[in-house]
Structure 1
Amino acid sequence: MSAYNTRTSFSCVNCHMKQKHKNDEGEEAPSETNLMADDQQFERFSHQYVVNAGLCDLLFNNFEVEHHLCEGCTDCSIDLIKLLILNTEHEVEDYTEYLNKLNFEQSDETLDELEAELAKLQQEEKKLEEDIGEFNEEKRTSRESIAEKEALERKRKLHEARELSKLAMNEDEISSLQLRLLNATLWLKTVQDTNVFSACFKICDEGTVGVINNFSLDHSLREINAAWGQAALLLTSLAKLIGLEFEKYRIVAYASRSHLVVLEDGQMLPLFNLNGCAFKSKDKSFDAAMVAFLELMQQLEVRIKSIDATVLMPYEIKGGVLEDKYGQSYSIRKEFNSEEGWQKALKYMLRNLQCYLCFVSVFLTEDTHK
């Protein structure tokens, strides 16, 4: 190869490829580009991205061209420039059309109308600002009102809770009082229906022996004396309830030492016995006291029949004798009497006392209801 045909080779400033030159005969001179491509083995897509980025920088004057571009990069640059020129021409046409439109619209409206519209808009803006101020003031007032209402609501709820608590306490107290009233009413009814004498004096039989308040008239001497004391107390109480004052005798109810006092001379007739067996005792004053006791029972019976003539007693009292409906007589004296007969007489005496007790209980109940 002669010196005339020698060409200086340059690398493309964009793709860094060696430029291809033709010799005088029109043949392409050997290029080192293929050798570089074979040696470096660039990746196709990555290299293309680098090339496109370089062309864009070149178009927007981000760097200066120090050497000539290769043919491929030059063709790409020309195509991009043509595309940019075409887009710019379209934009110019659009802007020109929009400018003409604006000029046409401006020619239709006078400046005075625009100023009037501007003033109107400014007034509307001012009014809107005033409305906004009023709205903000109303909003602030509403918030204060809401806060006051919430405070009042909290106070109301607190007051309501306190009142409900008081109401619950009052209801509990009322319920308690109602229960107490009901209990008191039941107790009052029980007391009204309960006869004191029936509760205090219990008279029953144990075979042929009479018993009053668990004191028998057939056992030990001490028990017999106590039974006579209970009978004396019962007869005295019944007489007081119906307003009877005994004649000839006065009862002194003194437990096991109960006795009768003769009103005429003050003599004491004992309803107790201190000498061994009560039946075998020869103390005639004891017999006299028992006969006098039957006489007082007869006075009480007369008083009861004066109140209610229909009352019938199981045994009729005649002196110191009790007589049943069959005409059988039972003397209360120990003298000229058997022990069995005496026990029957004492038992029948207690039965009459029991009848007196029932009558007075009914009499007291009716008088209480009246």
Structure 2
Amino acid sequence: MSAYNTRTSFSCVNCHMKQKHKNDEGEEAPSETNLMADDQQFERFSHQYVVNAGLCDLLFNNFEVEHHLCEGCTDCSIDLIKLLILNTEHEVEDYTEYLNKLNFEQSDETLDELEAELAKLQQEEKKLEEDIGEFNEEKRTSRESIAEKEALERKRKLHEARELSKLAMNEDEISSLQLRLLNATLWLKTVQDTNVFSACFKICDEGTVGVINNFSLDHSLREINAAWGQAALLLTSLAKLIGLEFEKYRIVAYASRSHLVVLEDGQMLPLFNLNELMQQLEVRIKSIDATVLMPYEIKGGVLEDKYGQSYSIRKEFNSEEGWQKALKYMLRNLQCYLCFVSVFLTEDTHK
């Protein structure tokens, strides 16, 4: 096999024309492309523009050629590169000449002005840096102030919440105290309007019979003695309240065993002389208020009605009916004494 048959043909990467290979002696290998090249000889001149354009694109775009170029394209590429080098050298010379001209023409005055302007700009730059530093410091101070204000605001809100809580508690306590005060005021008014003696000593009539604290003066002797004891206790209490000290007698209130004691000799007497002590109490009351009128007048230890009829509380000096009336009249006078002393004490308390 010949050496020509061992080689392959290739096409130019630019003009795409198939190229002839030479053997080891430098002779061209026979190929069908020779005939084609001869036939296309007339087209090379018109194709030369396209070839040059492609080579320029390859050169200026730094295209990496991966295949061989033909001899014509290679020569064209070399010529183009030489032309580019020459143009570049001319441009470098022109720029160098212009730079030298500028350096030569530049005066010392212009340089001084530029240096002065540079110094001025440097001062302005320094001032701007100082302003930036001051601004940053103010910014930091403002942030610290804002943080401090926020902390104070949180503290204020916390304090306000605590105070509001205390206020709510105080308002609840005030409401509770006001309610208690209202209840106490109502209770005080009730107590003030309540007659203690009227509550402790209830006097009424059951027909013709007088009753004191549910003890009747017309039943058994034990109940009658108990009623006498309640009457003696009431008379003693009234005398103490208006500052009266009885003459001749002292009352010993001891329930059904109540009695009188003679101050002169200490002799004990029954309660039949109670009207005399009631008369002393009546005199004391009229000395306080002369307008007071009793339903039954007491004279010489006996009670008189509006018709001038006298009644003694001693049973042996009266009929049964008269004795009952005397006891009832006695209780009614005691009831009047009770009312007067209650009013007197109420007015004195208000004073």
Q: TM-score range by the shorter chain?
A: 0.5 to 0.7
Contact kept in structure 2, 1:257 and 1:270, CA below 8 Å: no
Could you tell me how far apart the structure 2 residues matched to 1:322 and 1:40 are? 180
Could you tell me how far apart the structure 2 residues matched to 1:303 and 1:110 are? 135
Contact kept in structure 1, 2:272 and 2:313, CA below 8 Å: no
Shift of 1:252: 0.8
Shift of 1:337: 4.6
Contact kept in structure 1, 2:272 and 2:314, CA below 8 Å: no
**1:106-255 matches, cutoff 5 A:** 110-158=110-158, 187-255=187-255
Q: CA separation of 1:364/1:63 partners in 2, compared to 1, >3 Å: closer, same or farther? A: closer
Shift of 1:151: 4.2
Shift of 1:38: 29
Q: CA separation of 1:122/1:265 partners in 2, compared to 1, >3 Å: closer, same or farther? A: closer
Could you tell me how far apart the structure 2 residues matched to 1:97 and 1:367 are? 133
Unaligned ranges ≥5, structure 2: none
Contact kept in structure 1, 2:11 and 2:17, CA below 8 Å: yes
Q: CA separation of 1:121/1:322 partners in 2, compared to 1, >3 Å: closer, same or farther? A: same
Shift of 1:350: 0.8
Alignment deviations for residues 266-291 of structure 1 (CA, whole Å, 9 cap, x no partner): 3323359999xxxxxxxxxxxxxxxx
Contact kept in structure 1, 2:286 and 2:292, CA below 8 Å: yes
Shift of 1:255: 1.2
Q: CA separation of 1:73/1:352 partners in 2, compared to 1, >3 Å: closer, same or farther? A: farther
Could you tell me how far apart the structure 2 residues matched to 1:305 and 1:157 are? 73
Q: TM-score of the superposition, structure 2-length normalised? A: 0.62
Q: CA separation of 1:69/1:233 partners in 2, compared to 1, >3 Å: closer, same or farther? A: same
Could you tell me how far apart the structure 2 residues matched to 1:35 and 1:130 are? 86
Could you tell me how far apart the structure 2 residues matched to 1:186 and 1:225 are? 39
Deviates more, 1:339-348 or 1:50-59: 50-59
Q: CA separation of 1:24/1:155 partners in 2, compared to 1, >3 Å: closer, same or farther? A: closer
Q: CA separation of 1:261/1:61 partners in 2, compared to 1, >3 Å: closer, same or farther? A: closer
Contact kept in structure 2, 1:258 and 1:272, CA below 8 Å: no
Could you tell me how far apart the structure 2 residues matched to 1:304 and 1:254 are? 25
Shift of 1:212: 1.5
Shift of 1:223: 2.8
Secondary structure in 2 matching 1:302: helix
Contact kept in structure 2, 1:225 and 1:257, CA below 8 Å: yes
Deviates more, 1:203-212 or 1:114-123: 114-123
Contact kept in structure 2, 1:257 and 1:272, CA below 8 Å: no
Contact kept in structure 2, 1:5 and 1:24, CA below 8 Å: no
Deviates more, 1:331-340 or 1:358-367: 331-340
Q: CA separation of 1:17/1:170 partners in 2, compared to 1, >3 Å: closer, same or farther? A: farther
Alignment deviations for residues 36-56 of structure 1 (CA, whole Å, 9 cap, x no partner): 999999999999999999999
Could you tell me how far apart the structure 1 residues matched to 2:272 and 2:225 are? 5
Shift of 1:35: 22
Could you tell me how far apart the structure 1 residues matched to 2:39 and 2:240 are? 153
Q: CA separation of 1:71/1:4 partners in 2, compared to 1, >3 Å: closer, same or farther? A: closer
Q: CA separation of 1:269/1:24 partners in 2, compared to 1, >3 Å: closer, same or farther? A: closer
Alignment deviations for residues 231-267 of structure 1 (CA, whole Å, 9 cap, x no partner): 0011111122233332332211011211122344433
**1:308-323 matches, cutoff 5 A:** 308-319=289-300, 321-323=302-304
Q: CA separation of 1:83/1:355 partners in 2, compared to 1, >3 Å: closer, same or farther? A: farther
Contact kept in structure 2, 1:248 and 1:263, CA below 8 Å: yes
Q: CA separation of 1:112/1:335 partners in 2, compared to 1, >3 Å: closer, same or farther? A: same
Could you tell me how far apart the structure 2 residues matched to 1:2 and 1:158 are? 108
Q: 1:266: which partner in 2? A: 266
Unaligned ranges ≥5, structure 1: 276-294
Deviates more, 1:38-47 or 1:200-209: 38-47
Could you tell me how far apart the structure 2 residues matched to 1:94 and 1:244 are? 149
Q: CA separation of 1:206/1:149 partners in 2, compared to 1, >3 Å: closer, same or farther? A: same
Could you tell me how far apart the structure 1 residues matched to 2:212 and 2:159 are? 67
Contact kept in structure 1, 2:4 and 2:23, CA below 8 Å: no
Q: CA separation of 1:358/1:73 partners in 2, compared to 1, >3 Å: closer, same or farther? A: farther
Shift of 1:69: 11
Shift of 1:351: 0.8
What percent identity do the matched residue pairs reach? 100
Contact kept in structure 2, 1:217 and 1:346, CA below 8 Å: yes
Deviates more, 1:257-266 or 1:40-49: 40-49
Secondary structure in 2 matching 1:211: strand
Secondary structure in 1 matching 2:272: coil
Secondary structure in 2 matching 1:325: coil
Give the alignment's Cα RMSD to 1 decimal: 8.7
Deviates more, 1:169-178 or 1:348-357: 169-178
Q: TM-score of the superposition, structure 1-length normalised? A: 0.60
Q: CA separation of 1:308/1:54 partners in 2, compared to 1, >3 Å: closer, same or farther? A: farther
Shift of 1:142: 3.0
Alignment deviations for residues 133-174 of structure 1 (CA, whole Å, 9 cap, x no partner): 222222233333444444455555555555666666666666
Alignment deviations for residues 38-87 of structure 1 (CA, whole Å, 9 cap, x no partner): 99999999999999999999576666668899999999999999999999
Could you tell me how far apart the structure 2 residues matched to 1:37 and 1:207 are? 172
